[in-house]
């Protein structure tokens, strides 16, 4: 007679990488990169450390996988929206910035900027990875949006390199605020309102009068 239930480890096999990535993100944000142990990640995901090593060869590779499976695809989606969008530059800017905050700023991913700021000096290779995979590509995405608006005549002539960085910086700062309670006097519940005001101020400086 066949057993009607599969063993637990078989039922969870396909889900293991995602469970490990989710557990790793939680612990990286809560404790930082240096203080997070692979033993703790495995325990939080409900697997053995040996099982974790079947998927990720080191803590560095685990962190890179977290970034590549979470933030990088969101940048790709935003790039696709910019390429296909048919509305005005104002509508596109509102959509991209609000969606980015909703997808990153309002969940655990928002803790990664603070983690990188704190750990970059001790882990320069990871800092370079994050710069190339997230920051540089994010700035290029915003520059593409600005270039589109300039070509349409909606946005005044701007410095694409400098202004794309300036537009990203407040978003990063708000995510750092969110994870710095007791240091930055900002109510996390008010950050959505901050985003709304930021978008209005940015548009006032970008749109042609």
- Which domains are delineated in the chain? 1-56 (1.10.10.60), 70-206 (1.10.357.10)
Distance of CA 119 to the CA centre of its chain: 16
Give the closest residue to 41 by CA, choosing from 28, 57, 54, 32.
Answer: 28
- What pLDDT, in 10s, does the model give residues 54-113? 999 999 999 999 999 999 999 999 999 999 999 999 999 999 999 999 999 888 999 999
**What does residue 184 show for φ and ψ, rounded to 5 degrees?**
-95, 125
Task: Check whether 188 has a pLDDT greater than 90.
Answer: no
Q: Range with the lowest mean pLDDT among 78-82, 120-124, 128-132, 181-185?
A: 181-185
pLDDT grade, residue 16 (50/70/90)?
confident
Instruction: Give the pLDDT of residue 1.
Output: 41
């Amino acid at each position: 007679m066949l057993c009607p239930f599969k063993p637990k480890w078989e039922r969870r096999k396909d889900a293991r990488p995602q469970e490990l990535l989710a557990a790793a993100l939680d612990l990286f944000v809560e404790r930082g990169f240096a203080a997070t142990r692979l033993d703790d990640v495995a325990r939080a995901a409900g697997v053995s450390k040996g099982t974790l090593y079947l998927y990720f060869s080191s803590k560095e590779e685990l962190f890179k996988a977290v970034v590549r499976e979470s933030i990088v695809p969101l940048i790709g989606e935003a790039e696709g929206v910019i390429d296909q969008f048919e509305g005005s530059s104002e509508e596109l800017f509102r959509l991209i910035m609000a969606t980015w905050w909703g997808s990153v700023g309002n969940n655990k991913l928002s803790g990664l900027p603070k983690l990188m700021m704190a750990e970059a000096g001790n882990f320069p290779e990871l800092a370079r990875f994050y710069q190339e995979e997230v920051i540089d590509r994010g700035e290029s995405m915003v520059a593409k949006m600005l270039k589109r608006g300039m070509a349409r005549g909606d946005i005044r002539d701007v410095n694409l390199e400098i202004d794309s960085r300036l537009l990203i910086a407040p978003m990063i700062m708000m995510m750092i605020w969110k994870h710095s309670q007791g240091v930055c006097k900002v109510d996390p519940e008010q950050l959505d309102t901050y985003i709304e005001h930021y978008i209005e101020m940015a548009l006032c400086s970008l749109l042609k009068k």
